[in-house]
Amino acid sequence: MTRANNRPGSSHRDRVVATAIELVNELAPGAARGHQYEPHSDGEHLASVANTTFAAFHDQPAVFLPTERHEILTLVGDLHQVLLALGEGRLGDAVPLINSMMSKHAFAPHLSAEEPFSLHYQDHSLPAPAGWTTGIAASLGSFVSSGAWEYIGVCEASRCDRVFLDDTRNQSRRFCTTRCQNRVKVRAFRSRMR
What ranges do the domains of the chain cover? 10-193
Neighbours of 73 (CB within 10 A): 17
Determine the Cα–Cα distance for residues 5 and 27; give it in Å rounded to an integer: 32
Q: In CATH, what class is 10-193?
A: mainly alpha
pTM of this structure: 0.87
Determine the Cα–Cα distance for residues 12 and 116; give it in Å rounded to an integer: 9
Q: pLDDT digits over 117-175, tens only?
A: 878 777 778 899 998 999 999 999 999 999 999 999 999 998 999 999 998 888 888 88
Q: pLDDT digits over 60-70, tens only?
A: 567 999 999 99
